[in-house]
Amino acid sequence: MKSTHSGSRRKKIILFYSLAVVLPGIFLGYLAYRGIRNDQALREKESRRKLELNSQTFFAAIDSSLVQFMIEQTDDTIPSSSKQDNPFLLASLVKDSTGFIKLIRHKLLYVPDEMLASKPEQLSQTGHDEGLRLEFREQRFPEALRFYQNKLLKSNEPVEKIFALVASARLYLKMNQPEKAKLVYEQIRTDYLECLLNGQIPVGLMAGLEIMKINQSLGEKDEMRANSLQFLKLLRQPSCEYDKNQFDLFYQSSKEIIPQKDPVIDSLFAELDIERARTDYLIRLINRPDLMAMNGNNHINLGKDGISCIPIYSNELVAVYLSWEKSNGVRASMVIDFPAYLKSSSEKLIQKPDPNSSVNVKIEDNNGRLIFPRVIQEETGYLTFPFPDNLPQYKLLLSENQPGFITTLLKAGSGIYFYIFLLIALLMVLGFVFTIYTLNEELRLNKLKSEFISNVSHELKSPLTSIRMMTEMLTHNRVQTEERKSAYYSAMLEESERLSHLIDNILDFSGMDDDRKKYDFIDLDLNELLLKFIESTRERLPEPGFDIRYSRSDRVPVIRADKNALLQVFYNLVDNAIKFSGTSRQIDISLISKDDELLLCVKDYGIGISGKDQEKIFDRFYRGDEPQRMGIRGSGIGLTIVKKIIEAHKGRLTLESKPGEGSTFMVSIPLSGVNNRQ
């Protein structure tokens, strides 16, 4: 019945708590959540704007860097030898007003005839007539060889020397001395790598090819491989300019001679094929750049310098074609390998919009291949910005590095809604904990109160019952002897005294509980009061043999105190000592006078108090576990009253106890305490 009642009360309180705290909390939480979302949306918008600005600055930086590069490269005041050979510069050329194209720098494998810088140098045939006669007509090889070696010693002209060397090597071969021929070719390859024979045959390649042929005929496999690699690398990065026929000739011959199925050699051939297609494309482009523009590529002027920029996006090449009409009617043009340019310049260009590196940058081609990454911390929310029309169709991907969670929260302003949210959640949790705590406390007190009522009723009923029984016996003259009668009377007196003390306790308690209790402080001799109290207690002791010892200091000062209240303190402490004495029959009371206080100790040797109970026995209605188990009666308000009275006297109540060994309650009352107040 009781538990159903407290259960429904609990439910009611939780319901009220939900209505009063949880619902408004949820509403406020929702508002805060909306705030956080709005805040987040604002930040995202701001970040998008920032990235957009970054992309614009980045594209502008590309434009201005291209313009600057073009101006530097075509500046006639800077000698071309001191201009850096940039890996991304595929070709740089000028076209005069007559339409003549001059290549200044390039990475072509071969050069169209009309653009070749060197023209065939004519060898004076007369000087070699004798050699040719000895070698070809009369077939007198040793004499012919001597003739050329003689020439070699005498001549200072590289053209003459090359001719003589080539003829010597050829004669060694004819004389079946391949080792010697190889040595001569090696000398040609080393010393005249950048020279052309008859102004058109690249000597280095020719010598290389002859060496490979000798390697092949002598079965020198390892040497053949090394020479093949050297030859292909030279073909890939020519050290002098020659035309397409020469290239094709050496390319075809090398394909026939060099054994394939070697991964390194195969990859060199593959690279060469790509470069060949690129060279063809570049040559077409150099001759007819307008074709690019007609193919739909945009022709955009960069800046005020009148430099036009055409994006080139073909299978062979991704590049930009820059072109600039200079004041003297000369048109300078340039082809820039765009991926290579981005690889080498992006890092520098990014510094402009984003010096603090708070943005992750990626550049992808239109197939989604990564060309350049600069990722400080991988993020998912990349924004894509297509490259502008004057550049190849690449994409710039930017994402902002979001600061850490804590940094965001600490950032002024931006975390305010989150804090509110947190605060509401905290308040709700605290409110809930507090409600549950108060509820439990309330229910605990209620339980204690009910127990108190039942205990007190019992306490009241038992002395009343015995008084009634004894009165009945006396009234009906059932008690025979005078001696018995007198025992009955004193028992009745004792029981009624018990009743009176109990009622005093209850009345005092209710007065103290709501602070109605008034004290009447007078000058009091505690020693005298105690002596009388102990005397009367000895008389009313329930059983004989109980020893109450009293000791005191020689001189006990008079203090200001409430007489009845202190009697109540004595009664409650001594009554407890008697009740909880167990098998012991001794109680020690002492009154000790100290400098500034009076100390009253009530010591018993009874059941003692457990550590857990020591903390609670001064709480109202609390009764120890052990007394309840042993069936010792009580109300649970005695010590609460003692404590309140002592506090009203500005004193202290302390306890020392060990279960099974007894307890000592110590009351100290300051001598100055209430004197000042009264």
Kindly list the residues in this chain that would bind ligand ADP in the complex (CB under 6 A): 572, 576-577, 580, 604, 606-607, 609, 613, 617, 623-624, 627, 634-640, 663
Question: How long a stretch of residues is the chain?
Answer: 678
Cite the beta strand spans of 505-636 per DSSP E: 521-524, 547-552, 559-562, 586-593, 597-604
Q: Which is nearer to ligand ADP, 392 or 608 (CB)?
A: 608
Closest CA to 669 of 648, 652, 654: 652
Minimal distance in Å, beta carbon 456 to ligand ADP?
A: 9
Q: Which is nearer to ligand ADP, 323 or 576 (CB)?
A: 576
Q: Which is nearer to ligand ADP, 144 or 530 (CB)?
A: 530
Q: What residues contact 93, with CB distance under 8 A and at least 6 apart?
A: 101, 102, 103, 104, 106, 115, 286, 332, 333, 334
Q: Which is nearer to ligand ADP, 624 or 651 (CB)?
A: 624
Q: Which is nearer to ligand ADP, 332 or 609 (CB)?
A: 609
Minimal distance in Å, beta carbon 11 to ligand ADP?
A: 33
DSSP bridge pairs for 89: 336
Q: Which is nearer to ligand ADP, 185 or 622 (CB)?
A: 622
Closest CA to 569 of 651, 456, 490, 460: 651
In the complex, residue closest to ligand ADP by CB: 624
Q: Which is nearer to ligand ADP, 23 or 503 (CB)?
A: 503
Minimal distance in Å, beta carbon 613 to ligand ADP?
A: 6
Minimal distance in Å, beta carbon 527 to ligand ADP?
A: 22
Minimal distance in Å, beta carbon 505 to ligand ADP?
A: 8
Q: For residue 112, report the phi and psi dihedrals to the nearest 5 degrees.
A: -60, 145
Specify the residue for token string 């609390």. 622
Q: Which is nearer to ligand ADP, 317 or 502 (CB)?
A: 502
Sign of torsion over alpha carbons 195, 197, 200, 205? negative
Q: Which is nearer to ligand ADP, 364 or 613 (CB)?
A: 613
C-alpha distances (whole Å) from 136 to each of 130, 139, 140, 184 are 10, 5, 8, 20
Distance, CA of 328 to chain centre = 61
Dist. CA 83–CA 69, nearest whole Å:
11
C-alpha distances (whole Å) from 530 to each of 249, 548, 602 are 136, 12, 12
Minimal distance in Å, beta carbon 517 to ligand ADP?
A: 17
Minimal distance in Å, beta carbon 637 to ligand ADP?
A: 6
Helix (H) or strand (E) holding 234: helix 221-236
Dist. CA 185–CA 551, nearest whole Å:
133
Tokens of 634: 């009580």
Minimal distance in Å, beta carbon 576 to ligand ADP?
A: 3
Q: Which is nearer to ligand ADP, 435 or 581 (CB)?
A: 581
Contact 266, 137 (CB under 8 A): no
C-alpha distances (whole Å) from 238 to each of 10, 215, 247, 275 are 95, 23, 10, 12
First to last CA, the chain: 51
Minimal distance in Å, beta carbon 563 to ligand ADP?
A: 21
Q: Which is nearer to ligand ADP, 261 or 629 (CB)?
A: 629
Residue 163: other Cβ atoms inside 10 A: 21
Minimal distance in Å, beta carbon 528 to ligand ADP?
A: 25
Q: Which is nearer to ligand ADP, 494 or 619 (CB)?
A: 619
Max Cα-Cα span within the chain: 183
Minimal distance in Å, beta carbon 23 to ligand ADP?
A: 43
Minimal distance in Å, beta carbon 579 to ligand ADP?
A: 6
Q: Which is nearer to ligand ADP, 353 or 627 (CB)?
A: 627
C-alpha distances (whole Å) from 538 to each of 494, 520, 548 are 11, 27, 7
Residue 614: other Cβ atoms inside 10 A: 16
Dist. CA 631–CA 144, nearest whole Å:
143
Minimal distance in Å, beta carbon 607 to ligand ADP?
A: 5
Tokens of 299: 């022709």
Minimal distance in Å, beta carbon 572 to ligand ADP?
A: 6
Helices (H), 305-415: 338-351, 405-410
Contact 596, 560 (CB under 8 A): no
Contact 515, 622 (CB under 8 A): no
Minimal distance in Å, beta carbon 608 to ligand ADP?
A: 6
Tokens of 264: 């390194």
Residue 65: other Cβ atoms inside 10 A: 15
Q: Which is nearer to ligand ADP, 55 or 581 (CB)?
A: 581
Q: How many CA atoms lie within 13 A of 259 on its CB side?
A: 11
Specify the residue for token string 């007003």. 97
Closest CA to 521 of 365, 378, 414, 677: 677
Q: Which is nearer to ligand ADP, 263 or 611 (CB)?
A: 611
